Amino acid sequence: MQASAQHRVLADAILPDLGSNTKVGGYIRDAVLVVGFALLMAICAQIVIKLPGTVVPITGQTFGCLLAGGALGSRRGPLSMLLYMVIGMIGMPVFAVSGSVLAEGQSLHVILPWSGSEGIVWSMASGGYIVGFIFASYLIGKLSESGWDRKSKVILSMFLGNVVIYIVGLPWLMINLSASLENTLLWGLWPFIPGDALKLVLASMALPGAWALVDKIKK
């Protein structure tokens, strides 16, 4: 479980092996990180902005996914997203509520009171985005392991991860709602570009910023 210095990601710098450099210590650390980021995703899902004309709201989930891939790497990042998905599928209300479920006149919901949803992802219009989080975090993790999380290329890494989410999410939405391509893009892409751009920039600032802080502390 010990990452090499060349390919070390942020989580390995902040949280070294617990107890020792043994495999057990590495497994414990990895379990803590995977569970922790799955819980972070659940919290991010409760930051919801309702948009008119679509059942898919803007949420903080993309931000959590981008951070998971960048901070955890290509193995633990996808595992945290997979765990998040499984938790929601077994009945825990960790997914975001759809825009149609929010109270009449309510356009913004931030964490409390907790109003998450659960369900089987393949029966959900937004299920493809949840599955896409797994693949996106893997790609971002791979790029972070190559040092992209500490360079100006981090924003490209986050952008590519975002593209992967849509590659999975949009066809899923189209099939689930039996929608035309025009309506699929209207309901599942165009309204989210400004919010995704903001989350992408924030995640791109967070990773190099965290690395700079770690390097400063260790000097």
CA distance 207 to 147: 11
CA distance 213 to 201: 18
Instruction: Find out whether 187 and 56 touch, Cβ atoms under 8 Å.
Output: yes
Residue 146, class by beta-carbon neighbours within 10 Å (0-12 exposed, 13-18 middle, 19+ buried)?
Answer: middle
**Cα-trace Rg, the chain:** 18
Measured between its terminal Cα atoms, the distance across the chain in Å is 25
Instruction: Find out whether 90 and 70 touch, Cβ atoms under 8 Å.
Output: no
**pTM attached to this predicted model:** 0.86
Q: Strands 58-59, 108-110: parallel, antiparallel or unpaired by DSSP?
A: unpaired
Q: How many CA atoms lie within 13 A of 6 on its CB side?
A: 1
What are the residue boundaries of the structural domains of the chain, listed by start?
10-218
Per DSSP, what are the bridge partners of residue 49?
58, 108
CA distance 56 to 24: 41
Contacts of 6 (CB under 8 A, 6+ apart): none
Token pair recorded at residue 49: 């902005």
Tell me which H or E stretch contains 37: helix 23-44
Quote the pLDDT of residue 5. Answer: 45
Hey, how many other C-beta atoms are within 10 angstroms of the C-beta on 136?
Answer: 30
Class of domain 10-218 as given by CATH: mainly alpha
Cα angle vertex 216, ends 213, 219, to 5°? 150
Taking only the tens of pLDDT, the chain with its 219 residues reads 444 444 688 888 887 655 556 677 778 889 999 999 999 999 998 888 876 666 667 788 999 999 999 999 999 999 999 999 999 999 899 998 765 555 555 566 676 677 777 788 888 888 999 999 999 999 999 999 998 888 778 999 999 999 999 999 999 999 999 999 999 998 889 888 888 888 889 898 988 888 888 888 876
Instruction: Find out whether 20 and 67 touch, Cβ atoms under 8 Å.
Output: no
Q: What are the tens digits of pLDDT across the range 92-101? A: 999 987 655 5
Three-state DSSP at 147 gives coil
Q: What are the tens digits of pLDDT across the range 63-110? A: 999 999 999 999 999 999 999 999 999 989 999 876 555 555 556 667
Instruction: Find out whether 84 and 133 touch, Cβ atoms under 8 Å.
Output: yes
